[in-house]
Structure 1
Amino acid sequence: MLFLTRRRRVQREGVDFQQIDNEWDWDNFLILQAYVGAAAYCLFPSLLRGLPLWDPRGLAAAAVVHVAVSEPLFYWAHRLFHKGHLFDHYHSLHHSSKVLQSFTAGFATPLEHLVMCVVMAAPILGATLVGFGSLGLVYGYVLFFDSMRCMGHCSVEVFPSRLFESLPVLRYVVYTPSYHGLHHMEQDSNFCLFMPLFDALWGTLNTKSWQLQKDISSGKNDEVPDFVFLAHVVDVAFAAHSPFLLRSYSSMPYTFSIFVLPIWPIIFLVMLMMWACSKPFLVSFYRIRGLLHQTWVVPRYGFQYFLPFAKDGINDQIELAILRADKMGIKVLSLAALNKNEALNGGGTLFVDKHPNLKVRVVHGNTLTAAVILNEIPDGVKEVFMTGATSKLGRAIALYLCRKKIRVMMLTMSSERFLKIQKEAAPEHQEYLVQVTKYQAAQNCKTWIVGKWLTPREQRWAPPGTHFHQFVVPPILSFRRDCTYGKLAAMRLPKDVEGLGVCEYTLDRGVVHACHAGGVVHSLEGWTHHEVGAIDVDRIDVVWKAALKNGLTPV
């Protein structure tokens, strides 16, 4: 959970899709342990059936065998796996993971897992043979063993340095994530299982171990991001897509899955806790050309944005995130989806006006969203029909298209809002903006730009062959089989992105919503202006060219 561990990470890099895919079967060792347990039960049924539920003497016996047998056995087996053929054909797979996570502990070849089973079984077998075995010891020791391995691979320093300064002997009794992290960074040191004592005895203890542990546990490994994308949770089920909950699930585009149902009540209770006491938290990060880009989440769910009494509370959370970013020294903060709702805060204007001395640049990213939609429209189109025409995005798209002498049928019941937008256009272009009040007006137009939800009945007015371009959240239902439906405006991140391992909502890997991409461009270009409120139509082409220049590509 990065919002808890940001300052204590041993390795600062994010986990990418390739590592997640490589480690997909990290739990194979659990299956092997089950087979070993079943085999032991078949071979020694009388011995295991007679085990008591718990025998405290077994704990002491297992501890002695662990220190005397398991630790040295693992140490020398581990050193052997770092040599020649065994490393090239077996152990190198484990070291191919660039960023350690708890899952990495189970990422190994079958031969290594077999050796690990022998190491693990020794204390249980030893305690049982001397008559002190118990069912509690069997399950307890295995859980302890696997938990310690996962802790060592978690890449988050969990021990305070003061603990080791107060009791120096503990340094040799228990290893830390930073200690094991050094083994993966400098492979010829720190080979122990859980006790650095054996590295000290046999001369393979890395001299940087104690200082590195102290530096990281004190929070010195903190890093201020250059850019933050401030998102929000869509619904209760979507919360299961968070990377700190299910890494494999979040690495794929979001779709509702049956396995979410059993944990839905738990997520719902967590949601209530988040409402009661919440602040923006960090969920993922990646790098582009050395710049650190992070995603923070306002702990508010989509339906809350439509509750009148929740407006002030939501704005308070967004304001807290902006002020926190400003204090940290972040350069750009981009507002996602409903966090920049016009009725909520005027597309971010509320915060910029309230805090005129902000150093962090607040960006709604809608300029690039408009550019993406406009560049989807094929050449030769002479007429479009638009819903949500007087919204922030609708206005910008309409004004841009009329400059290209494309007739825009703007669906709106408000003549006042329509005339206000029409007057913004040059006199020679105003005739291309036409107000319509019924869907029937578009029954011969095959290019629809949808900024407001369309029911299946309303979609019926579109002629066969119509393409629906969309900037409405959530997307409209694909009701018509004789029509085509565009996805929400999005762009693919540059090829040199590093550490990205999370899919943004329903989008494919490496693809982000256009407003997110707009913030990325703002950051990469080093622009120093706020992008809030109404979209500057003159900047649509500027932002589009900047996005392409920086390696972002249309989906």
Structure 2
Amino acid sequence: MGSAVLASWPWDNLGFYKYVLYGPLVGKALASRAWESASPDRWILLLLVLFGLRALTYQLWSSFSNMLFANRRRRIIRDGVDFDQIDKEWDWDNFLMLQILMAATAFYAFPTLRSLPLWDARGLAVAALLHVLVTEPLFYAAHRAFHHSGHLYACYHSLHHSSKVPQPFTAGFATPLEQMVLGVLMAAPLAGACLAGYGSIALAFVYVLGFDFLRAMGHCNVEVFPSGPFRALPVLRYLIYTPTYHTIHHTKREANFCLFMPLFDLLGGTLDDQSWEMQKQTSAAPGMGYAIRPQSMTTLTSPSSITSSSVDEVPDFVFLAHVVDVMQSLHVPFVLRTFASTPFCVQLFLLPMWPFAFLVMLAMWVCSKTFVINCYNLRGRLHQIWAVPRYGFQYFLPFAKDGINKQIELAILRADKMGVKVLSLAALNKNEALNGGGTLFVNKLPDLRVRVVHGNTLTAAVILNEIPKGTTEVFLTGATSKLGRAIALYLCKKQIRVMMMTLSTERFQKIQREAPAEFQQYLVQVTKYRSAQHCKTWIVGKWLSPREQRWAPPGTHFHQFVVPPIIGFRRDCTYGKLAAMRLPKDVQGLGACEYSLERGVVHACHAGGVVHFLEGYTHHEVGAIDVDRIDVVWEAALKHGLRPA
């Protein structure tokens, strides 16, 4: 494909630096003070504003498309958008760069365009007429040609159809040749209006943004039209396409070629017979609807590609997460899809968004409604990630405790009512001081069908399997916590000396008594960090200050299960990340990173819930960790294809 003419973008290798191509226009606008009404280069500023608004249009539709909490019942293709598709569509805005260069060239070639009036209503009528008579039929013909010519499809149009799930950004994911053709067709009505003497600045903004709005809508994978107007006025079916209508084209590929008006598919004999029935069923929520499932995305031409399913699909497994802080709340697909697909870290471009995110935090605190933020498929079963609308610092406010537990309880009851098999609690949602590691809910709701899991058994297993063989001594902080207790009891049975950092002799002795008599000698209470100044294996379950870290000898490795993780102050030491596991290779539709973890890697408590579901365990995993099950759960995780990160 790369050897064909205009099949690849000339700035493909520039990465982020491709935006330097905007430099001459921006520089010219600044040099001529284009924001002043008397500036002869005011058109440059207007052009830049227009293309900024175009990019915003696609971004807003992308945000809407990924708001699973708002539109999951109207999604057409139920599969998630995976990392491969996100990477392929990373430079979706290439066409905007191409078309702004084309527009700038036209303004330089035809100086009269620089003095267009602000508004002329007659131009809108002319542009609308030319769109119907010129742009729509020519696009239809060109689109069919790209499909029916083996060379054109293989070298050009197959790239657009390689995206499994249509997204607003998919609209811009095409080759330069296709985008040049589209740019010319889009410019034809505007050129016609200008030639007729009715061109205007407002017309350019209205037509171009309207064009982008409809293109992004058609690719959004969410049915936004109710079926009522189409039943009341059947003629509307041929005047405006719907997301369902266009998605059929992405799955069957030999039907529904139109730009925005199905009339031309009707005239050309390419209108899919099931289009309106599918649109009706998809828009009927709640109830029963159709979901398109493109198994291989090759050539799906039979009705078997359309299967009846519940509009509100029930997940088998739910991971109940929470927001860490205001910045991290922006690390979700419905804010910036590409940013969410990379491990979280604070970026400068996030700073202007902080005030908005803070206001959203306040609104979420008031609304207090758990929402779906992501989903993926594993072994053909739907897994969803829900989020409790609470931020990390709120978990440490004494007056917020009851409210947070109420939200978690409502999420558990909702999952139980839906038929979810397993619900796993994220870090702070299972805090011992908050709800006893989930014990509160199991005791209060004895008839639950959903299994509540804290996942700490696998978390302990991950940490323990990180410890190098041959280790004879470890230093353990947070020693009397759920994880600290389990780690200490496990290691002492392996005849490893565990220095348990705790000031409470009573709690230490309680744990020591749980160990078999012959191994109790390996559990040692220490009350000062200096006691570990010769131990190079630190297991950290309580936050360490720089001063406390100073007691570790050079070459120490800090294993961690503390939230938030400690900061690596020592250059002569190494720091492990929070316990995590890589999901099996057959996971599908996963397109967002879990906090700061790599792609496909989830926290061990999340993975623990997955294993609980895959193994079909029928018990709740709450409260104290059963030390005898650590190895059992570890082997089960490896058996199902999970791997330590």
**TMscore range, shorter length:** over 0.9
- TM-score normalized by the length of structure 2: 0.85
Instruction: Output aligned runs, 1:23-34, within 5 Å.
Output: 23-34=89-100
| Corresponding position of 1:170 | 236
Residue 351 (1) aligns with residue 441 (2): yes
| Corresponding position of 1:447 | 537
* Equivalent of 1:52 in 117, 126, 129: 117
Determine what percentage of the aligned residue pairs are the same residue: 73
TM superposition shift of 1:297: 0.8
TM superposition shift of 1:33: 2.0
Instruction: Output aligned runs, 1:79-478, within 5 Å.
Output: 79-82=144-147, 83-219=149-285, 220=289, 221-478=311-568
Structure 1: distance between partners of 2:587 and 2:392: 29
- TM-score normalized by the length of structure 1: 0.99
Structure 2: distance between partners of 1:506 and 1:222: 30
1:314-349 CA distance string (max 9 Å, x none): 111111111111111111110001011010111111
TM superposition shift of 1:168: 1.4
Structure 1: distance between partners of 2:229 and 2:491: 66
| Corresponding position of 2:133 | 68
Instruction: Output aligned runs, 1:483-502, within 5 Å.
Output: 483-502=573-592
1:162-185 CA distance string (max 9 Å, x none): 221122111111101110111011
1:408-463 CA distance string (max 9 Å, x none): 11000111111111111111111111111000111111111000001111011111
TM superposition shift of 1:49: 3.0
Residue type of the partner of 1:175?
Y
TM superposition shift of 1:85: 0.6
Residue type of the partner of 2:228?
R
| Corresponding position of 2:631 | 541
Residue 506 (1) aligns with residue 596 (2): yes
TM superposition shift of 1:51: 1.8
Structure 2: distance between partners of 1:378 and 1:102: 48
SS at match of 1:98: coil
Structure 1: distance between partners of 2:312 and 2:190: 41
TM superposition shift of 1:139: 1.2
Residue 550 (1) aligns with residue 615 (2): no
Structure 2: distance between partners of 1:469 and 1:200: 65
1:283-310 CA distance string (max 9 Å, x none): 1111111111111111111111111111
Structure 1: distance between partners of 2:260 and 2:408: 43
Residue type of the partner of 2:194?
T
TM superposition shift of 1:266: 0.8
Structure 2: distance between partners of 1:464 and 1:471: 21
Residue type of the partner of 1:54?
W
Structure 2: distance between partners of 1:523 and 1:215: 32
* Divergent runs of 4+, >3 A: none
| Corresponding position of 2:63 | none
Residue 6 (1) aligns with residue 72 (2): yes
Contact 2:99 2:180 in 1 (8 A): no
Structure 2: distance between partners of 1:432 and 1:225: 45
Aligned residues: 554
Larger relative contact order (C-alpha < 8 A, sep ≥ 6)? 1
Q: Which runs of 5+ in 1 are unaligned?
A: none
1:19-57 CA distance string (max 9 Å, x none): 1000011011111221122112111112x2332211122
